[in-house]
Structure 1
């Protein structure tokens, strides 16, 4: 085992896959000589050259289209969005091309494309740099979406995404790059369609993902001292949602709390509620509680920014209400 930062875990995954497969390459703004906005691609251009770690102009729609075209020819591009919010400029390419070409070509084309980069609410990055795009992309057919939350799952998920023959969006949180944890020295892969059981429990099920996993665990550590025993699932796979793992947990706890940084309206939590209510309503002993970000543009003001997203105390209060009132 070795302890590394999350950004280094991502860089290791890219380096290992580029070394193993010459069809893998990286493109995006400042990914080459600068090493990426958060140093995920640092020094890779020295090892692989400027054509495999390709600096692009500030034209998201163009280089996304180029990446999709190259994936059709057999290459395996990794597109870094300097900030995931900017990929809204490439929404047409991602939805109408990346998501649909394998289907509309009758299976003649594979689209082995990875789209990754920083997103989420940072520290005073402003509304345009604080987007949570999972809610935008979840309804597009043909895409897979995963969200990393630790150095361990960041590396394992990215390696699996690079090897997949379908377009995969990997969401990284801007405030998790400096998270440090142990990962194995040996190579490992993680599935792109499975949730992670973070903590076993019996009182209720808490579903979360990305940075909110750490808010949840901060709250859970306090709740355990108060006599509560929650079960925690890190969703990881945002599309498809691992409903089987959710149901397995609900059969034990019969109560559900969803904690997300996504917008409440049309977010990932909304989709989970819909699936549970449609097919597994009888498992619930209490109404589902959902803690999500406020449906407003993220303020630049630091104090206002904090109150737009979920905090650990809200999680504690919701658990106590859900367990004690049911």
Structure 2
């Protein structure tokens, strides 16, 4: 049996779209909300053998290493593409690893390279969805995409990414596996946008409603280096938190942003965005906490005790304060 394992955000979904446009294949889909990254362990090992083909996209190898090693022991072939913290990559004849930790790439662009840009417009959409706006703008310009079309791809990528945020899949407009299946009808993203019955329009309506509420978030800290705000324990805030963090990062590229979403009386969900003009160490800062992790430019903590909120704010603010100030 074959399995496709992918992050439920824009980068994960669009990475798999490219691969399945190129090579349609019957597989079992393993995915979930954006923060559900320990996905490889969900593959049933008893169904694997040396003829099985496993694809893993946009989830940290470091976070999945034990499960990955068990999969490799079954002799299944594994294609692993990602841009998050990898740790030590296993040496195995049945593992094809495509790992790039650059702050200016994403898994969709890694897959784009593997496929020689066969579905390049989708890869650009993935970059927009992962908030690599400058990278995506440059690629769009090089591909001859005009500014209006580029804005359409940016909105589509943002909406697909927005759909991945939530405490559980019931928070989302679409289960990520269902969203992936619905997008398989469109080898070109512009076809999705042109189809008024596509997921693009349902997601846009939900996003616009959630975003208007996010703009009322309670700001608890603001300086030249960092802005931090808190959102309530509501489904809309869980859906919009990461995308709103991206929006703030784009509006104020010289400062970092922390978005805290209340989980309960004692804990927060955390989204951290490094300054766009200094995209580094977001994953490192969040990985100091047991449920934290991410990449250079964007990261999060799944469950931060409220007592530690000020410590995290101070750590982030200090890290991004220029030396000598």
Could you tell me the TM-score, scaled by structure 2's length? 0.31
More contact order relative to length (CA 8 Å, sep ≥ 6): 1
Structure with bigger helix share is 2
Could you tell me the TM-score, scaled by structure 1's length? 0.31
